[in-house]
Amino acid sequence: MTTKIGSAATAKVAQLIGSPNGVQAKLSALTQGDSSLAVSVPAEVRQQNVAADLMEKAGGVTYPAINVYCQKIVNSQKEKFRRFSGQVHVAAEVRHSQDRLDGLEGRLQIYADAIAQTLQSSVGDWGDGMFFGGGYEVSFSAVKHGGRNFLQAAVVTFALDVSK
- What tens digit of pLDDT does each residue of 116-133 get? 999 999 999 999 999 999
Domain limits at 24? Answer: 2-163
CA distance 121 to 117: 6
Amino acid (one-letter) located at 96: H
- Asked if residues 95 and 52 have their Cβ atoms less than 8 Å apart, the reply is yes
State how far Cα 158 lies from the chain centre: 9
- Residue 33, helix vs strand vs coil: coil
Write down the pLDDT at residue 40.
57
> Once rounded to an integer, what is the mean pLDDT over residues 132-149?
92
CA distance 75 to 18: 28
CA distance 158 to 138: 9
Tally of structural domains, the chain: 1
Least confident piece of the model among 31-40, 87-96, 107-116: 31-40
Q: What stretches of the chain show up as alpha helix (H) in DSSP?
A: 2-18, 23-30, 52-58, 104-120
- Residue 55, helix vs strand vs coil: helix
pTM: 0.90
Q: What is the CATH number of the domain that holds 129?
A: 3.30.2000
Gyration radius (Cα) of the chain, Å: 17
- What tens digit of pLDDT does each residue of 46-88 get? 998 888 778 877 877 888 999 999 999 999 998 888 899 999 9
> Once rounded to an integer, what is the mean pLDDT over residues 137-145?
95
Write down the pLDDT at residue 54.
83
Write down the pLDDT at residue 61.
81
DSSP 8-class letter at 21: T
Is the pLDDT reported for residue 1 higher than 70? no
DSSP 8-class letter at 148: T
Write down the pLDDT at residue 70.
95
CA distance 31 to 114: 10
- What tens digit of pLDDT does each residue of 143-156 get? 998 877 899 999 99
In the chain, the percentage of residues whose pLDDT exceeds 70 is 93
Write down the pLDDT at residue 129.
93
* Residues 150, 93, 88: CA angle, nearest 5 degrees: 165
Is the pLDDT reported for residue 6 higher than 70? yes
